[in-house]
Structure 1
Amino acid sequence: MDQRDTSCRAFRVGVSNNADGLSSCLSTSYAGIIAFMAVATEGSFAAAGDRLGVGRSSVCRSVQKLEMQLGTRLFQRTTRSTRLTLEGERFFQNCNQGVAQIVEAMSDLRDLRQGPPRGLLRISSTIGFGRKVVAPLLSRFSEKYPEIALELLLDDKTADFAGQQIDVAFREGFIQDSSVIARQLVPMQLILCASRSYARRHGLPQTLDELENHDCINRRLSNGRIAEWEFKVDGHSRKFLPTAHLTFNDPELVLNAVLDGDGIAQIPAYLLKAHKAGDEIIAALRQHEPDDQGHYISYLCRQHLPSRIRVFVDFMTDSIRSLELNDLTAFNESETEVRIERLAA
């Protein structure tokens, strides 16, 4: 037998031994690791049992067997809370990615084959859209699907589906991530606007150059940058960063400042709908409004989408489209009225 044959034989023996070790390890600790990850993720043994579709006592036994096998305590348990020990935190980080995928796969299959949609649904949304549009619809969804628990996280940063365990995210603008399915709900219109009281005192800009003569209100993005104003001139996109005397990091605070007559700002159309109906807001430079981008509902690509995600996406798509968030036809009439009022004054 030459050296190459000896090496090959040694490799096969090594692989066989490793496979036997892996098989033995998995057979004794697989259920414990799954239970451990569920408890660490859900925060309690009872919630972990609900997530896995087993009883609390079964989860406790699996975790206890795993702790005995590892020779260490993974959780600090009291009557009020369950927390990871330092060893438990380290073990969780090492196991997180692989086991989370296994738990998700099991949950997906169970949702597909067992009765009505159920389980926890974690939702991410931009702050303004989440408060104004998404949150008001959640109670109606819960009435229709009472076995789905909802958790809404508001953050203008891009959703980290894996790291934050996000199921569905609402986002604005263009989405280029190929790993994400994005369905456009409605176009996203950006409207340059002021209050009627501001327009009476200062007028409205008739050209982009006149913006420098107005009190502008800016919004600071979650990445620290100031949001540029976008316009379309002669078929081309043009961005403008005004000098502002007021800046906020919340779109509703920008809107409130506009309503108070403090200045002029570029605001998403969905925030303006109620105030347009009350004739409080006047739009300007509508001839230079930028191309619509979009409000999107997005989720990770999956061959078999869990039913809780599927029904939520369908419900939100139909509900948000029925709101007619971009119905702003009355704005031009309001601008004309203000011009007449200023001339009369």
Structure 2
Amino acid sequence: MTLNFSDKPQHEADALASSFTASYAGVVAFIAVAAEGSFARAADRLGVGRSAVSRSVQKLEAQLEARLFQRTTRSTSLTREGEMFFRNCHPGVQRIVQALEEMRELREGPPKGQLRISATVGFGRRVVAPLLAGFRARYPEIAIDLLLDDRLTDFTSDRVDVAFRDGQLEDSQVIAKRLVPMQMLVCAAPAYVQAHGLPGHVDELSAHGCINYRTVAGRIADWEFKLDGQKRKLVPPSRCSFNDIDLVLESVLRGEGIAQLPGYLVCDYLREGRLVACLAQYAPDDRGHYLCYLSRQQLPTRVRVFIDYMTEAVRALDLLHVSGLSPALSLPG
């Protein structure tokens, strides 16, 4: 519940704010005295002076226009009105205490709770999703919700805890931790190479059967290269295009054409000889795969252990160690 004083006249808002503040302090003091049976012990429990507890209770009694305690020099006991007020307040106070305890456990206790993760479709399907079984086995009390989406993550509206993205996000509030390099490789199947050969230069791409990828924004993705130290982007003529990167890969594996694909997607096929890479000397600068989250401060335990686990697990996959390719593919330190 949100307390909104902005719609009230200033004098009413001030009175309401003052009343709420006095009531809150008074209720806390009242519950402590009722639970401890003593103003002195309640003061020790709350870490304040006995007089402060007494003043808070007196203000509450004045607000309620009811006496809550019978006080003598030897004892403190609840009046009938005090007993009724305690019965009504106690469940709410218990819920507040429980909420505070649960928040503390999220930070300090065993990892548990809901974890919402976002990843690009290709990287999420090929890299992130297969690693989740091991994570769940280690942390069975953490529930995983994985969202595959090539759009930029909106951490707030999508309520995402951790996102995997290609390249750093421009949002300065987002922490981006580099996991592995992201190199783009022009690849073809041996059957295509036997029938059509491979381009030796970027300018020869137009003579080949190129397969393009259509982004979530609806445009054809650029092929990126680096020539004479300068970045160069182009969109070669294509026989077909797909808005799913896995369909682009399948078409290339069938020998239907060539495509520029991310290294994590093709490294196993390159090792197995089912694909060959070309134009490595013109490979663009590494964009990197990043694990992103909103803040280093006050991270719940479930988020911290996920970040640590996935960082180690992704780097251990050896996604980009393919012989004969650019040394830029080495893993980060």
TM-score (norm 1): 0.67
Check whether the contact 1:282–1:331 (CA below 8 A) recurs between aligned residues: no
Deviation at 1:166, TM superposition (A): 0.5
Asked if the contact 1:276/1:330 (under 8 Å) is kept, the reply is: no
Superposition deviation, residue 176 in structure 1: 2.1
Task: Tell which structure's C-alpha radius of gyration is larger.
Answer: 2
Specify the alignment match of 1:81 in structure 2.
none
Structure-1 residue corresponding to 2:244: 250
Tell me which of 210, 228, 238 is aligned to 1:234: 228
Task: Return the alpha-carbon distance in structure 1 between the equivalents of residues 269 and 117 of structure 2.
Answer: 27
- The 3-state SS of whatever aligns with 1:247 is strand
How far is the alpha carbon of 1:194 from its aligned partner? 0.6
Report the Cα offset of residue 107 of structure 1.
Answer: 6.0
What secondary structure sits across from 2:219 in the alignment? coil
Q: Give the SS at the match of 1:298.
A: strand
Which residue of structure 1 aligns with residue 172 of structure 2? 178
Distance 1:218 1:25, change over 3 A: farther
Contact 1:108 1:305 in 2 (8 A): no
Matched, 1:109 2:104: yes
Deviations 1:324-343 (A, max 9, x none): 111121569xxxxxxxxxxx
Cα–Cα, structure 1 residues 24 and 216, in superposed 2: closer, same or farther, change >3 Å? Answer: farther
Instruction: Return the match for 2:14 from 3, 13, 16.
Output: 16
Residue in structure 1 matched with residue 208 of structure 2 by the alignment = 214
Pick closer, same or farther for the CA change 1:107–1:282 going to 2, 3 Å. Answer: farther
Q: Identify unmatched segments of 5+ residues in structure 1.
A: 1-10, 28-103, 333-345
Alpha-carbon displacement from aligned partner over 1:79-121 (angstroms, at most 9, x marks no partner): xxxxxxxxxxxxxxxxxxxxxxxxx9986533113x3100010
1:140 aligns with 2:134: yes
Unmatched runs of 5 consecutive residues or more in structure 2: 1-8, 26-98, 327-333
Q: Which amino acid aligns with 1:19?
A: A
What is the rounded CA distance, in whole Å, between the counterparts of 1:26 and 1:252 in structure 2?
A: 58
Structure 2 CA distance for aligned equivalents of residues 211 and 276 of structure 1 = 20
CA displacement, residues 186-233 of structure 1 (integer Å, 9 cap, x when unaligned): 010000111110011000001111101000100011111111000000
**How many angstroms apart in 2 are the aligned matches of 1:321 and 1:302?**
21
1:272 aligns to what SS in structure 2?
helix
Q: Check conservation: 1:232, 1:288, Cα contact below 8 A.
A: yes
1:263 and 2:234 aligned: no
- Alignment equivalent of 2:163, drawn from 144, 153, 169: 169
**Identity of matched residues, %:** 48
SS at match of 1:222: coil
Distance in 2 between residues matched to 1:297 and 1:142, nearest whole Å: 18
Paired with 1:105 and 1:289, the residues of 2 have a C-alpha distance of 53
Q: Give me the whole-angstrom Cα distance separating, in 2, the residues matched to 1:267 and 1:171.
A: 16
Three-state SS of the structure 1 residue aligned to 2:298 is coil
Contact persistence 2:280–2:325 (CA under 8 A): no
- Tell me the residue number matched to 2:323: 329
Change (3 A) 1:150 1:24: farther
3-state DSSP class of the match of 2:236? coil
User: Using a 3 Å threshold, how does the CA distance of structure 1 residues 107 and 201 change in structure 2: closer, same or farther?
Assistant: farther
CA apart distance, 1:16: 1.8
> Residue 312 of structure 1 is aligned with which of 297, 306, 317?
306
Letter paired with 1:242: P
Note if 1:291 corresponds to 2:263.
Answer: no
Pairing 1:277–2:271 present: yes
CA positional deviation for 1:319? 0.5
* C-alpha distance after superposition, 1:152-172 (max 9, x if no partner): 110000111111111110000
SS at match of 2:195: helix
Name the SS of the counterpart of 1:165 in structure 2. Answer: coil
Deviates more, 1:299-308 or 1:186-195: 299-308
Q: What's the offset of the Cα at 1:276?
A: 1.4
Q: Report the Cα distance in structure 2 between the residues aligned to 1:107 and 1:262, rounded to whole angstroms.
A: 56
Amino acid at match of 1:17: A
Q: 1:199 to 1:107 in 2, by over 3 A?
A: farther
Report the equivalent of 1:98. none
Q: Which structure has the highest helix share of the two?
A: 1
Q: 2: distance between equivalents of 1:128 and 1:323?
A: 16
1:197 equivalenced with 2:191 (yes/no):
yes
Q: 1:25/1:191 Cα in 2 relative to 1: closer, same or farther (>3 Å)?
A: farther
Inter-partner Cα distance in structure 2 for 1:116 and 1:173? 32
- Aligned residue for 2:315, secondary structure, equals helix
Partner amino acid, structure 2, of 1:211: L
1:315 CA displacement: 0.4
Aligned pairs for 1:61-80 (under 5 A) are none
Q: Deviation at 1:243?
A: 1.3
In terms of mean alpha carbon deviation, does 199-208 or 321-330 score higher?
Answer: 321-330
